[in-house]
Amino acid sequence: MRRTQCAQVGVSAFLPFCVLLIDAAIRYWTTDYTQLETFSKSAPRQQWKSPVLTYGLLSLAWSVAAMLAVDSARVKTGTICLVGKHMEAHTPFLQVVMCIMDGIIIAELSSLRRGPGDEPVDISKFFSVFCLVASGFMAIIALFFMIFSTQQLHLSSVARRDLFLDTLMASVAIACAKTLLTWLHPTTVAMLTTGLTLFGYRFRALDSSLTLPPLSQAYIFQTTAVTTGLSGAWFAMVFYSKSAPRSSTTVLLHRCLVLGYLAAIAMLITFSVFFSINNTHVSLPASAKMSKTLDEAVTQYQNRHFLPPPPNFDKWYEFAMSRSSQVIDSFGQIFDDLIPYWGLEPAEIRARTAHLSEFPEMGMAALQIRNGTLRQSPHIPGTHHWMTDSIEKMMEPFIQYLPDMDFVINLADECRVLPRYEDVRDLRSNGRAAHNKVAQRWKDLQENRNVEGGPFRTWTNNTEWPQDFMEPRKNPDGSFATSAHFVETIRKQLYYKWIADACPPESAARNSRWWDWSTLCMDCIEPHTELTTGGAVMAHNPPPQGICYQPDLAYLNGFIRSQTQATTKTLLPVFSQARVDGFADILFPSPWNFVDKTEYREDTDIEWGRKGNSLFWRGSSSDGIARDGGWKGFLRARAVHESYQEARKGSRDAITPRVNVSFAGEIHKCDSPDCGQESEMFNLWSGTVKPEGEAEEGYDLGRASAPFEEHWRHRHLLDMDGAGFSGRFIPFLESRSLPHRAALFLAWFDERLQEWQHYVPVDTRLGRGFWAVLDFLSSSEVVVDDAGFRQTGDEMAERIAEQGRDWAKKALRKEDMQIYMFRLLLEYGRVVSDDREALGYTGTGIPDW
């Protein structure tokens, strides 16, 4: 399973052909022609004549067609297969050997089953001993790997269930095949078993649809139709053969085969008739409505959230309008982040915050607001003071309007809070109930009813806050302690043990497991993707909890596959720069972008027409910790590997974009021998980005580095997550180039961006669909949308790039980060206040509800 990326799909299709040849050879070498009464010198030659030759050609044609049909259905994820002397590079050869061995076993069993004179023989005892010996041999191999492998095998209940069902089905199939060998030719049995397996693999691809030219659906039906037709020819020859046995059992079996074949034909015709091409296009949404006055903003807030806005909302509105904010009403991300905390008592939230502040060595930075002044904990690591200094600078213009509060910033790039689904569900329910109480209170006030404790239209001083920072907890030996709420998940796979628990009980994350990390999981991508014969084209971003129906991501993302930080299942109020779906960290604008760690400078950019028709990326292998070969599925490694393959094809010309994608710099975060494997492969791949005239052999990662301004020389920019969010995405949007974004991490700005309008979304599985989109958006091919508007792929790419650039200059500025942070801390200040049910801004009077 760990080397499926090196396997050649469809090799098992040659099993019938192997069985036919081996069975014919067994008959030839075991027949004593000298004892036959009708023996002649031509007898051996007649043995190899028709129908063996006819069957051989037919089975070979079927094998080739079946292999092509299955291969056309497979959409690869780009998982890396090592080349050279590595053992996994020889996987296809081992597949062929296994196919031949399977053919020998089936043919020999058939020979034993027939016995002298083709009479049935009971071989149950022999078969049982054979299976027992094979099982013992496999157990010895498994024990060897368990002893000497560095990766321990821990199977979840779902994995054990899948293994049990697979074992049961395989056992039933073997038993049925053994029985059928009495009545059917071994080649027919091999074709039945192989055909059923391949048809199941192929079935879902029949339902794919087109989204972008020049992808064609014809090939998918041609290969399927040819394979099905050859199957029918085989069954017809077997059934109507003069030498075929005519027992009632044999006749019944062949009739069942014919019925099954007709059913497959009917299914193929049905798909052919009802198949339709759905060319998708992206239409620009209507301009978002925005409140123009404070009263409208208050009303919009109440209509959306069913409670009044927090105190000093008028100050926030004035702050936002004075900075020409394009977003006034749509802050659903903040509401969604904080609703679970409405389900906790304010004192409990404050206690959890105080607990977090005791563990600065875990990457937690405590901040205090007292009397309109921000204070930083003295225990913040010096290497990360730039982050808290940036936050202080971000808050400086509005700090005087915030209430006293404590909050904790996650200094790491990774998100940290991953509570169980049932816990969050209950807290959200309690939070909505708390909102309803607030709504009822203010409704009673509007109706002039007596209400105790309020209303308070300004911040109160009833909540007690500590004056000093908590001292870090230490172990008896003097080392810094770690929180009991956090579990060390470094180097561990998160999906099945952690993310699955954050998903609904009926979700795929809890009930299924995807074993083949080299092949696309159709069910996983179907809700957000258009399936094509060339791969998967991401139509839109996954919905909330979208990660819960994508179990294949368990091995296709470095953050999920091999964590680098401790994680907690307790809902702790941790402020993080970004988070993966399922996590409950509170999002805030990244200091990285606020202080321009990766700055876009207008004077270094050039017009679209002067940019190279190329895809560009440079970066490090920072996805996760590389161990036990898991890095071969990491997003960045797969992207560079696929880019290397595309660049080596030699088919890219002036029409298709040049690929300039490579790792650069030092390799880090890896175990041995993974470091050596990465070094070997990364240096090999970097050779495709060498300047013209330079020897490829001498080019390595150190020389592949490029200044940040190099990005602006290319029309297409690839943006990918690492172990955390990508800090380059906003500069990419600000540029005149087109960002192609492959991301699992969500940031504060995601709710105000529209895929296919501001950027091109990319499924993190990559694959052929990604390259099909890139080729189209770099081409002069003309498409016509529903409104009759004609444009080439390159013109569409330029238009999306300009739209993203214009919107970024309006809605993703530093001022917008401040506006978001101001709004977030107003909301959070109310959540942690003991008077939160009585706090609210209503303007000059209580409006109608």
* 100 pLDDT more than 70: yes
User: What are the structure tokens assigned to 325, written together?
Assistant: 């904010």
Domain boundaries, the chain: 4-120+182-274, 294-479+826-838, 599-746+750-811
State the first-to-last Cα distance of the chain, in angstroms, to the nearest integer.
Answer: 60
**How deeply is 275 buried, as exposed, middle or buried, from its count of CB atoms within 10 A (0-12, 13-18, 19+)?**
middle
pLDDT at position 278: 37
Confidence of residue 368 (pLDDT cuts 50, 70, 90): very high
Angle of helix 52-73 relative to helix 15-30, nearest 10 degrees?
160
141-158 mean pLDDT: 62
Question: Across the strands, what pairs with 407?
Answer: 367
* 715 pLDDT more than 80: yes
* 675 pLDDT more than 70: yes
pLDDT at position 74: 66
pLDDT in tens, 501-538: 999 999 999 998 888 888 878 888 888 888 665 567 88
Report the b/e string of 432-451 with b at 16+ CB within 10 A.
Answer: eebbeebbebbeebeeeeee
pLDDT at position 760: 96
Cα(608)–Cα(735) distance, integer angstroms: 10
User: What are the structure tokens assigned to 198, written together?
Assistant: 């391949």
Select the more confidently predicted residue: 239 or 10.
10
User: What are the structure tokens assigned to 779, written together?
Assistant: 């081409």
Bridging pattern class, strands 745-746 and 760-761: unpaired
pLDDT at position 251: 58
Least confidently predicted of 57-71, 387-401, 660-674: 57-71
pLDDT at position 276: 36
338-345 mean pLDDT: 96
Q: Which helix (H) or strand (E) holds 715?
A: strand 714-720
Sheet strands (E) in 346-488: 364-370, 373-376, 405-410, 486-487
Determine how many CB atoms are found less than 10 A away from the CB of residue 728: 23
Segment of 100-104, 219-223, 797-801 carrying the highest mean pLDDT: 797-801
335-359 mean pLDDT: 96
Segment of 240-254, 283-297, 422-436, 466-480 carrying the highest mean pLDDT: 422-436
* 476 pLDDT more than 70: yes
Confidence of residue 222 (pLDDT cuts 50, 70, 90): low
Cα(615)–Cα(718) distance, integer angstroms: 7
Select the more confidently predicted residue: 237 or 578.
578
pLDDT at position 29: 76
Cα(644)–Cα(639) distance, integer angstroms: 9
Cα(21)–Cα(709) distance, integer angstroms: 62
Cα(625)–Cα(533) distance, integer angstroms: 34
DSSP H helical segments within 459-612, as ranges?
A: 508-511, 522-525, 558-561, 591-594
pLDDT in tens, 44-53: 444 444 466 7
Cα(828)–Cα(415) distance, integer angstroms: 19
User: What are the structure tokens assigned to 160, written together?
Assistant: 């054990």
Select the more confidently predicted residue: 701 or 151.
701
Segment of 53-67, 439-453, 667-681 carrying the highest mean pLDDT: 667-681
Cα(463)–Cα(631) distance, integer angstroms: 49
Select the more confidently predicted residue: 271 or 832.
832
* 587 pLDDT more than 90: yes
Determine how many CB atoms are found less than 10 A away from the CB of residue 105: 15
181-195 mean pLDDT: 75
pLDDT at position 200: 60
Least confidently predicted of 131-140, 245-254, 817-826: 245-254
- Could you tell me if 506 and 730 are in contact, meaning their C-beta atoms sit under 8 angstroms apart? no
pLDDT at position 256: 64
User: What are the structure tokens assigned to 119, written together?
Assistant: 């009479």
pLDDT at position 10: 77
Select the more confidently predicted residue: 685 or 108.
685
Cα(267)–Cα(207) distance, integer angstroms: 11
Give the rounded percent of residues in the chain with a pLDDT score beyond 70.
Answer: 76
pLDDT at position 47: 45
Select the more confidently predicted residue: 499 or 265.
499
Q: What is the CATH number of domain 599-746+750-811?
A: 3.40.50
pLDDT at position 67: 77
Cα(758)–Cα(807) distance, integer angstroms: 8
**How deeply is 148 buried, as exposed, middle or buried, from its count of CB atoms within 10 A (0-12, 13-18, 19+)?**
exposed
- Could you tell me if 629 and 615 are in contact, meaning their C-beta atoms sit under 8 angstroms apart? no
Cα(459)–Cα(484) distance, integer angstroms: 34
Report field, pTM of the whole predicted structure over 0.85: no
Cα(769)–Cα(520) distance, integer angstroms: 11
pLDDT at position 55: 72
Least confidently predicted of 125-139, 270-284, 550-564: 270-284
Cα(295)–Cα(301) distance, integer angstroms: 10
User: What are the structure tokens assigned to 355, written together?
Assistant: 């607990």
* 621 pLDDT more than 50: yes
Least confidently predicted of 198-212, 449-463, 510-524: 198-212
Instruction: Return all residues near 829 (Cβ < 8 A) that are at least 6 apart.
Output: 310, 402, 403, 405, 459
- Could you tell me if 712 and 611 are in contact, meaning their C-beta atoms sit under 8 angstroms apart? yes
Phi, psi of 357 (to 5 degrees): -70, -10
* 604 pLDDT more than 90: yes
- Could you tell me if 198 and 65 are in contact, meaning their C-beta atoms sit under 8 angstroms apart? no
228-235 mean pLDDT: 55
User: What are the structure tokens assigned to 481, written together?
Assistant: 């302690």
Angle in degrees, CA 24, 27, 33, rounded to 5? 130
User: What are the structure tokens assigned to 574, written together?
Assistant: 């941790």
